[in-house]
Structure 1
Amino acid sequence: MGDLVLITGATGHVGFHVLLHALDTGYTVRAAVRSQDKADSLLAVPALKHRQVGSRLSFVVVPDLTKPGAYDAAVQGVRYIIHVASPLPTDGLTTDQFEAELLEPAVQGTLGILVSAQKTPTVRRVVITSSIAAIVPGGALDDGADTVFTAASRTPTPPVSSLQHPFQAYAASKVKALNETEAWVRRETPAFDVVNVFPSYVMGREEVHPTADRLTSHGTNRFLLGIALGAKSPVPAPGTTVHVDDVARVHVGALDAKVPGNTSYLVTSNNSVGSVDGTVWGDAAKFVAKNFPDAVASGALPNNGTQPSVALKFDTSKTESTFGFTHIPYEEQVKDVVGQYLEVVG
């Protein structure tokens, strides 16, 4: 069996694809879950069940990732850690909840797993799921920028008092977690490497909860599906997307000793190979018309929704050269997301 890797957040969209990719690559996986029920539900997911991984997959229950020492038992004997778990924004959060519900859990969960890893001599590398929101100033996320962002870009943590809506608070949680992680590494100089991965809006098949309601109301796939289903969004979103398979590929690929550690990697697709210009959300309509003409003609896909884009620029050349791939383009993301929706409702 392959080296043992601990994966957190495996019940989520990104985390589950990371889990599958790690197993397919030959690793033995220990997945941290909040309860045994969560483990049982994962084992019932067809994409995992059909792989028949047997003893190469085990689970460890970590009920509260913010509790000191929460991961001490989970990291015992592991060689690698992929830390995906982090709180996501919900529409009902109020400004007085931002710090307790988003910022502190993101920071404490990440620092907690690093502290536990430091107690475990077998750990060689920790890969952390961050976000492009961690390296782009809040104003640019709202209004766009001509700056070309790279994996080396950084931005200061904004004061909590400046945060006005849940997405801003989520972005701030990613900024703070990244900044405090890098400060911890400089201060502690651990024996293991740390790699930060910065995905953009993640698109692709939802394997864990593929219901029509969830696809259209939860996660980042809903932005794309809204265009196909006629939703009229007045709120601009950063024009930057990535296929979930590319995100999983980089997380697992970063475990390879040939990949430089103590560095960071952007994972996002641009509008053409070699470009730094990001996604235009509205382009989904032409890809839907091209690839699903019957569904459009029948009215199953009205294909007249709107989603304004915030123009951002990212240089992903470092990622593509290090890992040896070209990011899956926006059209393929559209085909996978809309195709799954039609399967579910059809």
Structure 2
Amino acid sequence: MKELVLVTGGSGFIASHIILQLLEQGYAVRTTVRSMAKSQRIVTSMQANGITNIEDLSFIKADLQHPEQWPAAMVGVSYVMHVASPTPKLNFKDESEMINPAVNGVLMVLKAARDANVKRVVLTSAYGAICAGHPNQQTPYTEADWSDLSAKNIHPYQKSKTLAEQAAWNFIKTEGQGLSLAAVNPVGVMGPVLSSVYSHSNVQVEQLLNGQVKAVPQVKSGYVDVRDVASLHLLAMTAPQADGERFLATTGETLSMLEVADVLRDAFPQYASRLPQKTIPNSVIKLAATFKPDLRMLATLVGKYADTSNEKAKKLLGWQQRSAADSIIATGQSMIDLGIIK
């Protein structure tokens, strides 16, 4: 019998690559979807990427709004990859609209996993649970850092990621009853998209190559390839030394948005004329954010230090990763191949 791994939110960008690697490594995979209509798209993307043993992939309907659906999802499961997360709301009336679903969803999955005697849960957390609210950072962020929830400029999305991960660790400590937990905290996730569904990090590549961006904000970010994020999840799932640890998924490089555009310009000269060469002053972004809610999170990032370290994942788990440029180019090429870039 193959060991069964539950992957939550199987239609998502990171989750789809985790499913692909689990199937390639000989695991059976059950994945949750909010609608069974999404299952065929997942099957199609797996087959398009070389998976022939589709009988090892199964689907179950489970939603983070419905706790009663999760016990059935956990039956016979050895490991859980909890990747599903509420989509960030850019327009919200109260921060609780983002925070409560994130925290409650994590606790829902952990309780069901504990009750089903799952060996380990790997939680997909975020860089946003590490970096936010630190105005004077001067050394690379590591797993020892937590976002400062008392900071005035912390965005509710970053707050939700921080509180959700903290709730997970507190649950393991107080109610876990031996359940093992590891967390993976990715920076901006790039890499090949398998379908028309991809992360908000990839949207910037789509917009850049489609000529929708005339000038870019002065925001720096770490980047990581989705295939390497997936491999880090698999390492964290089985390595004994990963128990109780969090891992920052990053190449350790920091690129500005203008440098991202330059990478794309060099790789895809046919789109060079569409790509921006100018930046937007920080003051303009901050002013615009006062009356455009969808710019508020961006306004907290302009001009901020963003260096990160991947030493822990490399040393403890032997994790390897592609370069940021390779990941960005892979994003663009996959979008061109799928006809997303016109």
| Aligned-pair CA distance for 1:258 | 4.0
RMSD: 2.6
| Aligned-pair CA distance for 1:330 | 1.6
Query: Who is 2:277 aligned against?
Result: 304
Q: TM-score, normalised by structure 2?
A: 0.84
Query: Who is 1:95 aligned against?
Result: 93
Residue 168 of structure 2 is aligned to residue 181 of structure 1: yes
1:237 and 1:327 map into 2 onto residues whose CA distance is: 23
1:190 and 1:46 map into 2 onto residues whose CA distance is: 36
Map 1:182-331; keep pairs closer than 5 Å: 182-209=169-196, 219-228=200-209, 229=211, 231-232=213-214, 235-271=217-253, 278-296=254-272, 299=273, 301-304=274-277, 306=279, 310-331=304-325
| Aligned-pair CA distance for 1:224 | 3.6
1:207 and 1:83 map into 2 onto residues whose CA distance is: 20
| Aligned-pair CA distance for 1:270 | 2.2
Query: Who is 1:275 aligned against?
Result: none
Q: Does the 8 Å contact 2:132/2:158 carry over to 1?
A: no
2:331 and 2:168 map into 1 onto residues whose CA distance is: 33
- Tell me the percent identity: 26
Q: Does the 8 Å contact 2:222/2:250 carry over to 1?
A: yes
Q: Does the 8 Å contact 1:226/1:305 carry over to 2?
A: no
1:146 and 1:163 map into 2 onto residues whose CA distance is: 18
| Aligned-pair CA distance for 1:155 | 3.3
* Structure-2 change in CA distance of 1:6 and 1:233 (3 Å): farther
Residue 127 of structure 2 is aligned to residue 132 of structure 1: yes
2:166 and 2:7 map into 1 onto residues whose CA distance is: 22
1:326 and 1:17 map into 2 onto residues whose CA distance is: 16
| Aligned-pair CA distance for 1:238 | 4.5
2:105 and 2:139 map into 1 onto residues whose CA distance is: 31
Structure 2 counterpart of 1:150, one-letter code: T
Map 1:46-125; keep pairs closer than 5 Å: 47=47, 50-62=50-62, 64-91=63-90, 93-96=91-94, 98-100=95-97, 102-121=98-117, 123-125=118-120
Unaligned runs of 5+ in 1: 272-277
* Structure-2 change in CA distance of 1:72 and 1:158 (3 Å): farther
Structure 2 counterpart of 1:324, one-letter code: G
- Number of residue pairs the alignment of both structures matches: 318
Unaligned runs of 5+ in 2: 281-301
Alignment partner of 2:70: what SS?
Answer: coil
| Aligned-pair CA distance for 1:150 | 1.1
Structure 2 counterpart of 1:67, one-letter code: H
Q: TM-score, normalised by structure 1?
A: 0.83
